[in-house]
Amino acid sequence: QKEVEQNSGPLSVPEGAIASLNCTYSDRGSQSFFWYRQYSGKSPELIMFIYSNGDKEDGRFTAQLNKASQYVSLLIRDSQPSDSATYLCAVSSVTDKLIFGTGTRLQVFP
């Protein structure tokens, strides 16, 4: 069974701090990695994707991938209360469907 694991949280960080969200996956054949954000009662929305080892930055968000360690993370700089949500990690191989983790709940307090 291919698995994607995340700490369920909640991860609590003060406003302005860096939030670090982590995800590990079991399938070494995985090639595509995604971070979705889901506000309470809403549907998931894609915020980042990464294919290559290393860092990918988009505004306040940085995705980090280490395929050797089967580890992907999401850093949120200058965290805002509006970032409070559940963050879902998702993984897929080239021709396969997404496998989602159970999500990490982030709370940013003023």
Binding site for another protein (CB under 8 A): 8, 32, 34, 42-46, 49, 88, 90, 92, 95, 97-98, 100-103
Comparing CB distances to another protein, the nearer of 13 and 35 is 35
Q: How far is the CB of 17 from another protein (least distance, A)?
A: 26
Interacting residues of 83 by C-beta distance below 8 A, sequence separation 6+: 19, 76, 106, 108
Q: What letter would DSSP give residue 18?
A: P
Distances from the Cα of 108 to the Cα of 39, 54, 69, angstroms: 13, 26, 28
Q: How far is the CB of 27 from another protein (least distance, A)?
A: 14
Q: How far is the CB of 97 from another protein (least distance, A)?
A: 6
